């Protein structure tokens, strides 16, 4: 490992055995008044996602390119697994590092399978091993096997980006470098790709350095976030919850924006909140009993339970005396969430549902409800880590 010790930065806990270590990393381009990156010290722990985020001109992409030596530093050094990258030929180094960029960079004249096989072929893998690895990766990134024979122009932007990830993982590198990989896709596809990356990370445990300009993306993906200022100045380096709770300075506070508390909710899972049973009654209860439950809860509706399954809900005005609750036609809860959903997702469900409630289910079994006041109690910056860090956020809508 490098003997030099990184200078402490606000909110930084320095790993004792980092996979990547930047020491005094500097890049000055000719004709510029100040360095693009100025004496950057940073440790990237093994098996974590570290996100570099900051405004334009903060040197985040330059830093990433210095790690794989697409750009050579003016001074300083990069160490990977304790070894200086300058000690190896650049082309050999890059074969051990997965690299994903916003433009994807697939070879247009090669099929998807050929693109994925690029590095394994350079490493001399045999044909059967390459074919098996390609099939495995297509499945891992949720692409159909028949896409292997197609060309990049025949795929959607999201599909091409998944191929880019598969190609980067082809030779099973310990390190994955990702430069704004989801910046060119629409928000819905972007969210799915982010979820897929977290799923892959749960399975593979790679060391990932991820560049983005989007603080929300950084919070969602990062085990740690490095917030850079113009000139590659490291303003704060810490887990997302710590940065949101205790911004190091006015720059960080301004970069996070005015919705710090709401951003904090994205780090907490529904499963960590205290659920309430809510206004629910069994299907064989009477209309009178259902009205009593609704009145006690201060609402004008009830949920109807068939065993552990939530059938739907009823307005109390629609209940007919002398009939069981289950004899009425129920309405579907439009949005239901599970334990892995972030509280930010639950809040979205609450404000978009007619009942102003998030219904929590687990494999179709009813688990409880969250009302807006329940979420509001969690709207503090008093502590807590990324409760749902290794659980993919999930919000499911009823089909009706």
Residue ranges matching CATH 3.40.50.300 in the chain: 20-262
Residue ranges matching CATH 3.10.580.10 in the chain: 270-397
Round to whole Å and give the CA distance between 43 and 262: 29
Predicted local confidence at residue 345, as pLDDT? 84
Low-confidence ranges of the chain (pLDDT < 70): 1-16, 103-104, 379-400
Residue spans of beta strands (DSSP E) within the chain? 20-27, 37-44, 49-53, 75-80, 83-84, 97-101, 175-179, 207-212, 224-229, 233-238, 280-282, 301-306, 309-315, 335-337, 357-362, 365-371, 395-397
**What CATH number does the domain located at 20-262 have?**
3.40.50.300
Tell me how far the alpha carbon of residue 133 is from its chain's centroid. 25
pTM score, whole prediction? 0.77
- Residue 90's nearest CA partner among 61, 70, 115, 111 is 70
Taking each helix axis as running N to C, give the angle between helix 127-140 and helix 157-169, from 0 to 180 degrees, rounded to the nearest 10. 130
Round to whole Å and give the CA distance between 252 and 232: 14
> At residue 274, what are phi and psi to the nearest 5 degrees?
-85, 115
> How many Cβ atoms from other residues are within 10 Å of residue 130's Cβ?
18
Predicted local confidence at residue 334, as pLDDT? 72
Round to whole Å and give the CA distance between 49 and 62: 18
Q: CB within 8 A of 293, min separation 6: which ones?
A: 279, 280, 281, 302
> At residue 154, what are phi and psi to the nearest 5 degrees?
-90, 0
Q: Please, are residues 347 and 397 in contact by the beta-carbon 8 Å criterion? A: no
Considering the segment(s) 270-397 as one domain, its CATH architecture is Roll (3.10)
20-45 pLDDT, tens digit per residue, is: 999 999 999 988 888 999 999 999 99
Predicted local confidence at residue 2, as pLDDT? 44
> How many Cβ atoms from other residues are within 10 Å of residue 172's Cβ?
13
């Amino acid at each position: 490992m490098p003997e030099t010790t990184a200078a402490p930065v606000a909110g930084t806990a320095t790993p004792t055995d980092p996979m990547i270590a930047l020491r005094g990393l500097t890049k000055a381009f000719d004709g510029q008044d100040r360095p693009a990156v100025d004496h950057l010290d940073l440790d990237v722990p093994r098996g974590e996602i570290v996100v570099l985020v900051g405004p334009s001109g903060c040197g985040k992409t330059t830093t990433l390119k210095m790690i794989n030596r697409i750009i050579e530093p003016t001074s300083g050094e990069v160490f990977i697994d304790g070894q200086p990258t300058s000690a190896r030929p650049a082309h050999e180094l890059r074969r051990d590092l997965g690299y994903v960029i916003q433009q994807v960079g697939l070879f247009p004249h090669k099929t998807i399978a050929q693109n994925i096989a690029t590095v394994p072929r350079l490493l001399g893998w045999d044909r059967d091993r390459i074919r098996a690895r390609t099939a495995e990766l297509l499945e891992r990134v949720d692409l159909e096997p028949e896409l292997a024979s197609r060309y990049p122009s025949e795929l959607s932007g999201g599909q091409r980006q998944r191929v880019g990830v598969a190609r980067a993982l082809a030779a099973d590198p310990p390190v994955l470098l990702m430069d704004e990989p989801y910046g060119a896709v629409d928000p819905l596809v972007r969210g799915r790709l982010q979820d897929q990356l977290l799923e892959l990370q749960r399975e593979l445990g790679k060391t990932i350095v991820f560049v983005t300009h989007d603080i929300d993306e950084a919070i969602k993906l990062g085990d740690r976030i490095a917030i850079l200022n113009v000139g590659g100045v490291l303003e704060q380096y810490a887990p997302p919850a710590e940065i949101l709770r205790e911004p190091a300075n006015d720059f960080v506070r301004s970069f996070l924006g005015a919705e710090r508390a709401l951003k904090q909710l994205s780090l907490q899972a529904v499963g960590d909140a205290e659920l309430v049973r809510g206004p629910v009654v069994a299907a064989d209860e009477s209309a009178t009993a259902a009205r009593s439950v609704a009145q006690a809860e201060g609402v004008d509706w009830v949920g109807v339970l068939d065993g552990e399954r939530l059938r739907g809900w009823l307005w109390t005005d629609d209940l007919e005396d002398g009939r069981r609750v289950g004899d009425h036609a129920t309405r579907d809860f439009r949005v239901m969430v599970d334990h892995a959903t972030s509280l930010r997702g639950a809040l979205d469900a609450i404000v978009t549902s007619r009942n102003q409630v998030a219904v929590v289910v687990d494999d179709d079994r009813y688990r409880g409800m969250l009302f807006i006041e329940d979420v509001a109690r969690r709207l503090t910056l008093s502590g807590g880590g990324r409760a749902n860090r290794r659980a993919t956020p999930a919000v499911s809508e009823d089909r009706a």
